[in-house]
């Protein structure tokens, strides 16, 4: 890591944002129709989501998306190990609820303690536009916290309950991954070199 890069508050990111593509959307579907189409389209290259009768079909992401996703996962898992979390990475596991009329696959997800029924954290790396309401989907799935990385910015949403109503609140610090420095995390996610990013983050955790 060069001193010039360390002193730059907003280092140049390797992830030049490409033109954002929109997914294909098909409305007015029943859950049974969605599951039938899901079986027909069960092939590499596509990701299907569903919410309230709307089927969303996205092409699988390219290298910039995958690079950010794997970088974020590597940094987060380093923190979880050093902070003593008994965690389980659950990747892009399928999250669905027929009663909630929803199906979603996060880019990354984690159970942060043993014996969890569902992930405590879902992470979305966004290089596309439009589509179903992701936060509404995760609310139906009762995911406690959702992180979004988009255009070099990281946003964190925590699920709140007020009476019988659930909603996500945008927060400045994670309530599931307690103690993590999100500013440091984002700075390392956006660095050009992967090894430099991991070393910088690891060294900061040891200080």
Q: Could you tell me if 201 and 75 are in contact, meaning their C-beta atoms sit under 8 angstroms apart?
A: yes
What is the structure's pLDDT at 17?
52
Q: Are strands 94-97 and 88-89 parallel, antiparallel or unpaired?
A: unpaired
What is the structure's pLDDT at 95?
92
Q: What is the mean pLDDT of each run of 10 residues along the chain (207 residues)?
A: 38 53 90 92 83 90 87 97 96 92 95 94 89 94 96 96 93 97 96 95 93
What is the structure's pLDDT at 2?
36
Crossing angle for the helix pair 182-189 and 63-82, to the nearest 10 degrees: 140
Strand partners, 156: 147, 171
What is the structure's pLDDT at 101?
94
Query: What is the helix, strand, coil percentage profile of the chain, to 5?
Result: 30, 30, 40
For the chain, list the strands marked E by DSSP: 24-26, 46-51, 54-59, 88-89, 94-97, 102-105, 108-111, 121-126, 145-150, 153-162, 165-171
SS3 29: coil
Q: Could you tell me if 14 and 67 are in contact, meaning their C-beta atoms sit under 8 angstroms apart?
A: yes
Q: Could you tell me if 93 and 105 are in contact, meaning their C-beta atoms sit under 8 angstroms apart?
A: yes
- The token pair at 177 is 């991954």
Predicted TM-score of the model (pTM): 0.86
């Amino acid at each position: 890591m060069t001193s010039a890069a360390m002193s730059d508050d907003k280092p140049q990111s390797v992830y030049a944002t490409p033109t954002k593509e929109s997914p294909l959307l098909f409305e007015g579907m029943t859950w049974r129709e969605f599951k039938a189409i899901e079986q027909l389209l069960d092939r590499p290259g596509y990701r299907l989501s569903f919410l309230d009768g709307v089927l969303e079909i996205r092409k699988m992401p390219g290298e910039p998306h995958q690079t950010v996703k794997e970088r974020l996962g590597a940094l987060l898992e380093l923190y979880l190990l050093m902070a003593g979390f008994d965690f389980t990475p659950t990747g892009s596991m399928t999250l669905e609820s027929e009663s909630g009329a929803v199906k979603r696959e996060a880019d990354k997800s984690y159970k942060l303690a043993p014996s969890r029924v569902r992930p405590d954290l879902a992470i979305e790396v966004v290089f596309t536009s439009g589509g179903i309401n992701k936060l509404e989907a995760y609310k139906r799935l009762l995911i406690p916290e959702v992180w979004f990385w988009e255009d070099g910015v990281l946003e964190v949403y925590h699920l709140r309950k007020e009476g019988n109503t659930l909603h996500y609140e945008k927060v400045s610090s994670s309530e599931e991954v307690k103690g993590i420095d999100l500013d440091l995390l984002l700075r390392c996610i956006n660095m050009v070199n992967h090894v430099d990013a991991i070393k910088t983050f690891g060294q900061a955790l040891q200080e």
